[in-house]
Structure 1
């Protein structure tokens, strides 16, 4: 029996390790209202169902999405795109795509509309997130590594929530600053290099809008300016990079809002995966105990070695 309980303990530990090691995945979407020569063939509503890393996402965006002609600092013909936007969210997970009720309905609506109505659109539903590095750094470093001549850092601007390595880079404090940049790009240097605008989580420090409202405002600014643009949306769910020192492996299922009362959130994708694995482990343990008990009972049944002959 000791060996049996030892085997059960090993199974429980292995299942727990699998549940903890399961990566959190988030979707990414790339689109442009017009093709703008981003791809030799028209790419519309293409979906890559493989689970990829942020570095692989950067590689696919450069090669298949045509961003190598936009963000790589190489001499070439006139750029076909005026503005490229890297929008980094913190709300959406892969499991949220199929849900009827979204955390941010405006975000889901603008992503669905942009993906389906654009002439150039690609989707990556499963991008594996890591708590070791911010998504901003992973994608930008992926761009730099995959560009033969490096990325055009002189034409990259950030919102003030980004953790840019250099303090001398241009940072936007509000949407008006972004609008001024787009107007300047269209008026002063219409044939110059593509401007890459990086929107980090939250957009701006003094922003009270949701991600969906912020993305909608950004697309509206680009449409009104008449600029040729393309947008890459990627999400790193909130909480992956923030683990308290006293509980490094804890998951917060309650977050504080503007009031002091905590609001309990619904079980997300990772929570559902862990609960399913634990339920399977518990059911397996119960069935194994029943089987062992039945075998022990059968082994305990004593039967006579011989039977007496029936009497006439």
Structure 2
């Protein structure tokens, strides 16, 4: 009985922990060459701590060398032509170790780029929130950790990004190709172009193209152009509640299964309350069973009402 009680307690503890854990997505930073990002060769460095998107932005600036690319500084020599912030939505942190991937092209591209580059860093656990889009969190993180902000740095976006309509946007891959070509032809002292590639790529894109195919096509384009480039891939999984008010009354626990519809994976406040009540009910039932069993055992003990006198010697 004691062993069964211990097993139930462990299961309840694991259920509570899994319901409270945030949805995490991985991030990868790489450059084919170490363009002066660090004095020593930095290759395949992995940070296993769970970080927020803004902490990720700070690490990318300080450890990843992007402070020399996106922060406003005068008289700075350009070391990289193009920096790409590629925002995905397919990978969760738990997907990295799985044999069967949702998007094999994506994982293969990330793996090959990460291992074959001179400069590469990985952040397997980036805690996501449904309060803000990932591109806004990262860009605001860059601005907060740059001494002079982003200033008048050149930042362009794909047309799926949720930014002001007045900003320059790319409507296809050819537009990015033209940008890269113009950057190579500019004076070396020119500023690095930051391209924010949001999920889905382009609005008019053929929907048959996967996220992995888009990333692979972008990497191939940059390699063929001969440009000096660096890429930060970060994923904001669909396991977050996007429009809670539009969801049905059914509640779902933290981790979605293969048959769960994307976007219904997070356990909100009401779900946590109900799960806590359910846990309490289980504990009460187990304690009641223990109490009844103990009473029955005690009632089964039959002692004589009197004892015979010892025989006289």
Query: TM-score surpassing 0.5?
Result: yes
1:127 pairs with 2:122 = no
1:91 pairs with 2:86 = no
In 1, the alpha carbon distance for the partners of 2:200 and 2:42 equals 30
Q: CA offset at residue 286 of structure 1?
A: 6.7
The answer to whether the 8 Å contact 2:159/2:169 transfers is yes
- SS in structure 1 at match of 2:174: helix
1:79 pairs with 2:74 = no
CA deviation profile, 1:163-218 (whole Å, cap 9, x unmatched) = 11x32211000000000000111113443111000011111112221110000010
In 2, the alpha carbon distance for the partners of 1:91 and 1:153 equals 32
TM-score using structure 2 length: 0.81
What is the aligned partner in structure 2 of residue 178 from structure 1?
176
In 2, the alpha carbon distance for the partners of 1:202 and 1:185 equals 25
1:245 pairs with 2:240 = no
The answer to whether the 8 Å contact 1:79/1:191 transfers is yes
Aligned pairs, number: 287
What is the aligned partner in structure 2 of residue 158 from structure 1?
157
The answer to whether the 8 Å contact 1:35/1:42 transfers is yes
- SS in structure 1 at match of 2:245: coil
What is the aligned partner in structure 2 of residue 221 from structure 1?
221
The answer to whether the 8 Å contact 1:132/1:241 transfers is no
In 2, the alpha carbon distance for the partners of 1:115 and 1:284 equals 48
Q: CA offset at residue 76 of structure 1?
A: 4.0
Indicate which of 146, 162, 165 corresponds to 1:167: 165
In 2, the alpha carbon distance for the partners of 1:284 and 1:153 equals 60
What is the aligned partner in structure 2 of residue 111 from structure 1?
110
Quickly say closer, same or farther: Cα 1:286–1:101, change in 2 above 3 A.
farther
Unaligned residue ranges in structure 2 (runs of 5+): 1-7
Quickly say closer, same or farther: Cα 1:240–1:265, change in 2 above 3 A.
closer
What is the aligned partner in structure 2 of residue 258 from structure 1?
none
Quickly say closer, same or farther: Cα 1:163–1:288, change in 2 above 3 A.
same
